């Protein structure tokens, strides 16, 4: 078979890092608009030459004042837009890339692209809208934000949103924002507030219908309403007799704020009689966080069997009781090195004895020869 | 010599006065205070933090050296394999081989793409060559790539040298979440042309915090 000899050698230039500031630019389209932007490109590690080029679907409408930066520097891109462009987002990308120093092997270089985003509005009345709802707690005031931006070629004379709050498919609240005027390219945020005192802890969904000059846009966003409650999701159910066991409790906060100083008292019960009791260290839970609370249970005097366990969580001047079962199993047999050594000595001694006895018993008696 | 209490008081007083005058002169010269009156001096600090997009290829050498496909095999495979590099069915050595390590050293999350000036056919040649990359968060940098971590992908499958291929859609910049490994996997057929092979790999980054990146 033919033997192949290949060389895979990476010849790397001294610098493989490049940066730029600012990192992007935005421009709203105007027919025949002329403008310019400046960007500062720099090599990160050491001096290096950076090649500058333009790309993107509107690259033909941009002109660079220089195409090579020695040890970095500032580059200016002059933009001259045409009279008409298709609606939507367009780009002129200013690309700064290290000049590869190697001519052979594999060379690796870094490059940075700065997008100049040019937005061309859509013909007629169009908006860009988003919905934002923060999680709250029961009895707090909820605020629903509807962010809108005019991305059309005409101003919007009347814009408002109708919002419904749902839980398990049931519509629980109906809200409406104030009515506003939205000029060309203008962005505004609408607000709708609601009281959560009649809502239970759980998952909810806000559905908004944004109505503007006879047109509609639908949005939806989920959110949570919290209650000062910590649920125990799981705990260690199998323990081992006659040793100290690690015991974990998996908790979940249902509260939209941090809960501090949480600890648990753990009681092991046998026929309702407390046989072991311990207390965990204190920890905190972030909003809606799941976390394990750990401690150790001293079962050195507890035999195998099934026991009741009582976990009392203490937090924010509240106590919650959880009753459950744990199984204490027998210890697996552990053979220490000394035991192994003793067994080996006994076996060897037995073999030696066996051989000695066999030799003694099996030795043929010398027969006297008759003369 | 014995000093009287009175003399001692004089000496201590002179020392205190000299110390106070010296302190005032030093502070005034340093420009830190204008008057030692105890009155607070008003001031305001305005800071503007510019957005900076910057990437650094902190590990940019993958040197497999020279080698050959082993007798009885149709190809050899070289792989940086998430920092546990291997070279099989060939005489290349994987000792000391590491993936490319890319760090986001800016202050915005970036989208990173990669492109190679050649594909497997042009770069290696022969029957069934492969020249691929795949990405992994570097050890101790969980979720460095927040979304769009590239699975094993052929370099430049269309043969278009300028076509950018996705590497990581959102590459984080925060401490311990700012390094990714870019692994290289190469399959060298036994009938590949011999000699040194040339290609350029370009890592391209773009700020994603202000909206979508350029196409």
Q: Given the cut 0.85, state whether the ipTM is greater than it.
A: no
Q: Which of B68, B100, B201 sits opposite A4 (nearest CB)?
A: B68
Chain A residues with CB inside 8 Å of B62's CB?
8, 10, 106
- Whole-model pTM: value is 0.67
Helix (H) or strand (E) holding A215: strand A215-226
Q: What CATH number does domain A18-120 carry, 1.10.1200.10, 2.60.40.10, 3.40.50.2300, 3.30.360.10?
A: 2.60.40.10
* Contact call for A95 and B65, based on CB within 8 A: no
Question: What local confidence, expressed as pLDDT, does residue B164 receive?
Answer: 86
| Segments making up each domain of chain A, as ranges | 18-120, 127-226, 230-329
**Does the CB of A46 have a partner CB in chain B at under 8 Å?**
no
Question: What local confidence, expressed as pLDDT, does residue A340 receive?
Answer: 73
- B-interface mutation test, from A20, A92, A108, A118, most B Cβ less than 10 A away: A108
Question: What local confidence, expressed as pLDDT, does residue A299 receive?
Answer: 92
Restricting to A residues 89-128, those with a Cβ less than 8 Å away from any Cβ of B are 89, 91, 93, 95, 97, 100, 103-115, 117
**Does the CB of B198 have a partner CB in chain A at under 8 Å?**
yes
Task: Determine contact, residues A216/A160, Cβ cutoff 8 Å.
Answer: no
Question: What local confidence, expressed as pLDDT, does residue A126 receive?
Answer: 96
B25 or A117, higher pLDDT: A117
Task: Give the Cα separation of B116 and B98 in Å (integer).
Answer: 19
Residue B39 has pLDDT above 80, yes or no: no
- Domain A230-329 sits in CATH at 2.60.40.10
At a CB cut-off of 8 Å and minimum separation 6, what does A20 contact? A39, A40, A41, A42, A96, A112, A114, B52, B53, B54
Residue B65 has pLDDT above 70, yes or no: yes
* Contact call for B215 and A97, based on CB within 8 A: no
Burial of A105 (0-12, 13-18, 19+ CB in 10 A): middle
Q: Does domain A127-226 have CATH number 3.40.50.300?
A: no
Task: Determine contact, residues A81/A61, Cβ cutoff 8 Å.
Answer: yes
Helix (H) or strand (E) holding A18: strand A17-21
Residue B147 CA: distances (Å) to CA of A50, A112, B172 = 29, 19, 10
| B160-198 tens-digit pLDDT | 877 889 999 999 999 999 999 999 999 999 999 988 777
Chain B residues with CB inside 8 Å of A54's CB?
none
Question: What local confidence, expressed as pLDDT, does residue A17 receive?
Answer: 84
pLDDT bucket at B13, cuts 50 / 70 / 90: confident
**Does the CB of B87 have a partner CB in chain A at under 8 Å?**
no
Residue B35 has pLDDT above 50, yes or no: no
- A-interface mutation test, from B100, B204, B212, most A Cβ less than 10 A away: B204
Question: What local confidence, expressed as pLDDT, does residue A119 receive?
Answer: 94
| Segments making up each domain of chain B, as ranges | 1-36, 55-207
* Contact call for B207 and A45, based on CB within 8 A: no
User: Which ranges of chain A have pLDDT less than 70?
Assistant: 1-15, 44-47, 100-107, 332-339, 362-371
């Amino acid at each position: 078979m033919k033997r192949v000899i290949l060389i895979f050698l990476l010849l790397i230039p001294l610098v493989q890092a490049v940066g730029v500031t600012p990192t992007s630019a935005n421009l709203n389209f105007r027919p025949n608009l002329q403008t310019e932007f400046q960007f500062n490109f720099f090599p990160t590690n050491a001096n290096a030459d950076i090649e500058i080029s333009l790309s993107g679907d509107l690259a033909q409408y941009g002109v660079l004042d220089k195409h090579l930066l020695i040890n970095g520097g500032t580059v200016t891109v002059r933009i001259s837009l045409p009279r008409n462009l298709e609606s939507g987002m367009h780009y002129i990308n200013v690309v700064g890339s290290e000049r590869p120093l190697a001519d052979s092997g594999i060379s690796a270089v870094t490059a940075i692209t700065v997008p100049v985003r040019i937005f061309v509005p859509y013909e007629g009345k169009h908006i860009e809208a988003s919905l934002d709802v923060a999680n709250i707690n029961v009895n707090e005031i909820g605020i629903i934000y509807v962010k809108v931006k005019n991305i059309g070629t005409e101003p919007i004379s009347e814009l408002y949103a109708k919002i419904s709050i749902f839980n398990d498919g049931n519509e629980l609240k109906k809200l409406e924002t104030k009515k506003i005027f939205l000029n060309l390219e203008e962005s505004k945020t609408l607000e709708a507030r609601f009281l959560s005192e009649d809502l239970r802890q759980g998952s909810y969904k806000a559905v908004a219908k944004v109505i503007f000059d006879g047109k509609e846009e639908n949005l939806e966003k989920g959110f949570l309403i919290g209650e000062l409650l910590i649920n125990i999701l799981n705990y260690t159910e199998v323990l081992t007799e006659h040793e100290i066991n690690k015991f974990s409790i998996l908790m979940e906060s249902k509260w939209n704020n941090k809960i501090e100083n949480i600890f648990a008292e753990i009681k092991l019960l046998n026929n309702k009689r407390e046989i072991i009791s311990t207390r965990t260290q204190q920890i905190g839970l972030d909003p809606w966080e799941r976390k394990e609370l750990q401690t150790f249970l001293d079962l050195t005097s507890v035999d195998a069997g099934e026991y009741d366990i009582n976990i009392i969580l203490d937090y924010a001047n509240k106590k919650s009781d959880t009753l459950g079962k744990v199984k204490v199993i027998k210890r697996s047999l552990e053979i220490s090195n000394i035991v192994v050594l003793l067994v080996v000595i006994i076996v060897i001694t037995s073999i030696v004895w066996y051989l000695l006895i066999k030799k003694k018993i099996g030795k043929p008696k010398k027969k006297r020869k008759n003369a | 010599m014995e000093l009287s209490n009175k003399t001692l008081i004089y000496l201590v007083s002179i020392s205190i006065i000299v110390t106070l005058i010296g302190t005032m002169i030093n502070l005034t010269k340093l420009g830190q205070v204008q008057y030692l009156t105890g009155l607070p001096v008003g001031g305001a600090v305005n800071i503007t933090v510019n957005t900076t997009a910057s990437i650094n290829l902190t590990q940019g050498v993958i040197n497999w050296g020279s080698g050959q496909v082993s007798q009885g095999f149709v190809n050899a495979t070289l792989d940086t394999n998430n920092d546990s590099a291997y070279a099989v069915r060939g005489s290349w050595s994987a000792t000391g081989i590491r993936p490319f390590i890319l760090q986001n050293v800016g202050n915005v999350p970036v989208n990173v793409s990669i492109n190679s000036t050649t594909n497997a056919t042009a770069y290696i040649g022969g029957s069934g060559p492969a020249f691929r990359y795949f990405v992994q968060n570097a050890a101790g940098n969980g979720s460095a790539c927040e979304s769009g971590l590239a699975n094993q992908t052929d370099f430049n499958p269309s043969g278009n040298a300028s076509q950018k291929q996705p590497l990581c859609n959102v590459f984080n910049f925060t401490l311990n979440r700012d390094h990714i490994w870019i692994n290289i996997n190469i399959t060298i057929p036994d009938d590949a042309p011999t000699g040194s092979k040339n290609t350029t790999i370009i890592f391209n980054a773009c700020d994603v915090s202000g909206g979508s990146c350029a196409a």
